[in-house]
């Protein structure tokens, strides 16, 4: 992030959180990767230290800090091998919908728990048959008396096994297309909710689930914002979600490059470090250049977002470019390791697995190109 928005308070926060990650998270990552989740106790420890939802206003029980603190948390989790820990999804993707659109009653009951770690959030957008096409969701919420009756399913839900509630996208008027989409706050301990853990290529310490809703009843007051406005709310908040993924992509690329650089200096072949061979040196030069471009682009986006500038077009460009870039960097860094890169004992092996999803979730690279093209006045099919 650009130096001009950093001050001493940011450096102190970063150093404090970096120590927390080093002591509480990094040593436990191998076990949590095997377990497929982090323990709830870690969420509570994060909350005790003020590391969850630090942006929530003070009058709602938060610290009222700027988005740059969320950037710091995201960066330091990745540097500490906690890429799969679903805190950014909780703090910067799901909870903002509650803060912006929930009733005062829901805010008063749930936001303090989101801050303390007593409640874990997830968001239910993607469905088995829709992927990135959010306008085509089929989960429905039908009014019966003073309740919504919800039926359907969601897939690829980060935090889905541990989560206490879901910000759920539903069709309240299936005949109205995307204008019939609404967002509903759904506690996940209700009758009719089922969860199925999903096994993934990477992000093994992240609990990811398929959620099923079989006539789940919630009060009409659990509607977030206005009925039929859900698609508009999602389009507004997806800027932040995609920026969060851009941060992940850039920092993961930097970490992969670091592993490649260190190995290229240490590993010797034919009597000299492998980085001294022209092919490898040129490849590292290309990687360094991509990372420099990526960091400059990302910092510009973060600054604009903090200053309230609309970044829909540029964050779509960045989400596409950075997601593809980090996969190129990871491939090249692993290739430099040769056979050792394929071994789980080497960090680059895990990094390589984990980055693959970055060009997929929060909108695939292809969907990002579609958004950019449409904003340029084209109608690609």
Q: Identify whether residues 139 and 51 lie together within a single domain.
A: no
Per-residue pLDDT tens for 32-67? 999 999 999 999 999 999 999 999 999 998 999 999
Per-residue pLDDT tens for 192-226? 999 999 999 999 999 999 999 999 999 999 999 99
Tokens representing residue 318 in the block:
């960045």
Average pLDDT over the chain reads 95
Report which of 148, 149, 127, 146 is spatially closest to residue 136, judged by C-alpha positions: 127
The answer, yes or no, to whether residue 128 has pLDDT greater than 70, is yes
Collapsed DSSP state (helix, strand, coil) of residue 145: coil
Collapsed DSSP state (helix, strand, coil) of residue 310: coil
* Residue 257 covered by a domain: yes
Write down which residue in 226, 249, 275 finishes a domain: 226
Element housing 197 (H / E):
strand 193-197
Decide: 99 and 111 in contact? Cβ < 8 Å.
yes
* Residue 380 covered by a domain: no
Per-residue pLDDT tens for 253-292? 999 999 999 999 999 999 999 999 999 999 999 999 999 9
Q: Identify whether residues 58 and 153 lie together within a single domain.
A: no
Q: Identify whether residues 213 and 135 lie together within a single domain.
A: yes
The pLDDT confidence band at residue 136, using thresholds 50, 70 and 90, is confident
Q: Alpha-carbon distance 374 to 380, whole Å?
A: 7
* CATH, residue 346: 1.20.140.10
Write down which residue in 226, 254, 283 finishes a domain: 226
Residue with tokens 């109608």: 379
- Predicted confidence at residue 132, as pLDDT, reads 67
Write down which residue in 226, 254, 285 finishes a domain: 226
Q: Is position 241 annotated as part of the catalytic site? A: yes
Q: Identify whether residues 138 and 90 lie together within a single domain.
A: no
Measured in whole angstroms, the distance separating CA 292 from the mean position of its chain's CA atoms is 22
* CATH, residue 52: 1.10.540.10
Q: Identify whether residues 213 and 241 lie together within a single domain.
A: no
Pairing type for strands 121-124 and 165-171 reads: parallel
Domain around 349:
232-375
Report which of 362, 364, 363 is spatially closest to residue 158, judged by C-alpha positions: 362
Q: Identify whether residues 254 and 365 lie together within a single domain.
A: yes
- Predicted confidence at residue 133, as pLDDT, reads 73
Q: pTM of the prediction?
A: 0.95
Q: Identify whether residues 315 and 285 lie together within a single domain.
A: yes
Q: Identify whether residues 216 and 309 lie together within a single domain.
A: no
- Percent of the chain with pLDDT strictly greater than 90: 93
* Residue 194 covered by a domain: yes
* CATH, residue 142: 2.40.110.10
Number of domains, the chain: 3
What torsion do the CA atoms of 240, 244, 245, 249 make, to the nearest 10 degrees? 140
Indicate the burial class of 233 (C-beta count within 10 angstroms; 0-12, 13-18, 19 or more).
buried
* Residue 381 covered by a domain: no
Residue with tokens 């199925």: 196
Q: Identify whether residues 58 and 179 lie together within a single domain.
A: no
Q: Identify whether residues 22 and 75 lie together within a single domain.
A: yes
Per-residue pLDDT tens for 299-355? 999 999 999 999 999 999 999 999 999 999 999 999 999 999 999 999 999 999 999
* Residue 51 covered by a domain: yes
Q: Say which of 241, 244, 254, 255 is annotated catalytic.
A: 241
Mean pLDDT of 5-12: 89
Element housing 182 (H / E):
strand 181-187
Indicate the burial class of 74 (C-beta count within 10 angstroms; 0-12, 13-18, 19 or more).
buried
Q: Identify whether residues 12 and 96 lie together within a single domain.
A: yes
Q: Identify whether residues 243 and 351 lie together within a single domain.
A: yes
Q: Alpha-carbon distance 83 to 365, whole Å?
A: 20
């Amino acid at each position: 992030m650009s130096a001009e928005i950093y001050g001493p308070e940011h450096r102190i926060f970063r150093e404090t959180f970096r120590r927390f990650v080093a002591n509480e998270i990094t040593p436990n990552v191998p076990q949590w990767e095997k377990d497929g989740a982090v323990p709830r106790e870690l969420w509570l420890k994060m909350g005790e230290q003020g590391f969850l939802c630090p942006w929530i206003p003070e009058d709602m029980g938060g610290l009222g800090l700027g988005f740059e603190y969320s950037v710091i948390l995201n960066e330091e989790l990745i540097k500490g091998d906690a890429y799969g820990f679903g805190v950014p999804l909780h703090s910067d993707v799901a909870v903002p919908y509650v803060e912006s659109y929930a009733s005062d009653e829901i805010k008063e009951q749930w936001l303090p728990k989101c801050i303390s770690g007593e409640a874990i959030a997830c968001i239910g957008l993607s469905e088995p048959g829709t992927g990135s096409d959010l306008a085509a969701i089929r989960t429905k919420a039908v009014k019966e008396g003073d309740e919504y009756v919800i039926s359907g399913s969601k897939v690829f839900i980060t935090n889905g096994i541990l989560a206490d509630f879901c910000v759920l996208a539903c069709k309240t008027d299936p005949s109205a297309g995307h204008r019939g989409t609404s967002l509903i706050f759904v506690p996940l301990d209700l009758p009719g909710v089922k969860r199925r853990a999903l096994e993934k290529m990477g992000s093994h310490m992240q609990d990811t689930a398929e959620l099923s809703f079989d006539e789940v009843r919630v009060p009409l007051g659990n509607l977030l914002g206005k009925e039929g406005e859900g698609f508009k709310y999602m389009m507004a908040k997806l800027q932040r979600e995609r920026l969060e993924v851009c941060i992940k992509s850039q920092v993961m690329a930097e970490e992969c490059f670091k592993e490649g650089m260190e190995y290229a200096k240490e590993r010797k072949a034919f009597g000299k470090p492998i980085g001294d061979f022209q092919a490898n040196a040129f490849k590292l030069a290309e990687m360094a250049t991509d990372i420099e471009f990526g960091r400059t682009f990302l910092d510009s986006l973060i600054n604009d977002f903090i200053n309230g500038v609309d970044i829909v077009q540029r964050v779509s460009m960045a989400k596409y470019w950075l997601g593809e870039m980090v996969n190129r960097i990871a491939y090249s860094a692993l290739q430099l390791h040769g056979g050792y890169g394929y071994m789980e004992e080497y960090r680059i092996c895990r990094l390589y697995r984990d980055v693959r999803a970055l060009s997929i979730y929060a909108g695939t690279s292809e969907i990002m190109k579609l958004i950019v093209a449409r904003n340029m006045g084209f109608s690609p099919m």
